[in-house]
Copies of this chain bind each other. A is one copy, B any other.
Amino acid sequence: MKLVEEKILHDSKILNGDVLKVSNFLNHQLDIQFLNEIGKEFFRLFSDCKITKILTIESSGIAIACIAAQYFHVPVVFAKKSKTTNISSDFYSEEAKSYTHGNHYSAIVEKQFISPNDTFLIIDDFLANGKALHALFSLVEKAGAKIAGAGIVIEKTYQQGGEKLRENGYRIESLARIASMSPEDGIKFVN
């Protein structure tokens, strides 16, 4: 999606350690108008999939999922990364590893929010090594629900998480696909 690529070229910054900083529009400050265009595009891509729920993971996925959900007219469920006192004991849990935090965590969803009758669209901001997305797919499958696919804003294709998941049959739509990036040579997108 041209809009996302242009936004990345204009407003992001490449940090050391292969981190793309998009904090002024996607995961710290949120450009709501931009998220709206993203939501519209996810709806265009998945509008014929009979989505009944959107699943994402805290925190950065929540904004994107909520704005997109307005087009699908479905609820959002966000997986939690820690067990709070208000989570029931009846939950699904999957191990994952954070790229930006560098730690392992469990993605947790209460069982009551994933029914076998549901068809899920999964939404997240980044796809790099694919650990978070794989955890979300697994949560849905444990419950016997259907997965229509995943809508991702930025994929780093050179980290191959997306490739592996697609090989396993998942439909993944990424709005901007980064083939390479470095502070010296900048960002190159997949054509």
Contact = CB atoms under 8 A, between A and B. Distances in A.
Interface of A: 15, 17, 19-21, 23-24, 27-33, 35-36, 58-59, 62-63, 66-67, 69-70, 73-78, 80, 82, 84-88, 100-102, 109-110, 112-113
Nearest to A57: B59
A100 to B, nearest CB: 5
A102 B85 contact: yes
State the oligomeric state as a number of copies: 2
A75 B31 contact: yes
B28 A113 contact: yes
Contact of A112 (B24, B63, B82): B24
Contacts of A63: 62-63, 66, 76, 78
Nearest to A67: B66
23 contacts: A15-B85, A15-B86, A17-B85, A23-B87, A27-B86, A28-B78, A28-B109, A28-B113, A30-B62, A30-B75, A30-B78, A32-B66, A32-B69, A59-B78, A62-B62, A63-B76, A63-B78, A66-B67, A67-B70, A85-B100, A85-B101, A85-B102, A86-B100
Given A59-B62, A66-B63, A67-B66, A28 B85 contact: no
A112 B32 CA distance: 18
Which 8 A-B pairs rank lowest in CB-CB distance, beginning with the nearest? A58-B59, A30-B76, A62-B62, A59-B59, A84-B100, A32-B69, A63-B66, A29-B77
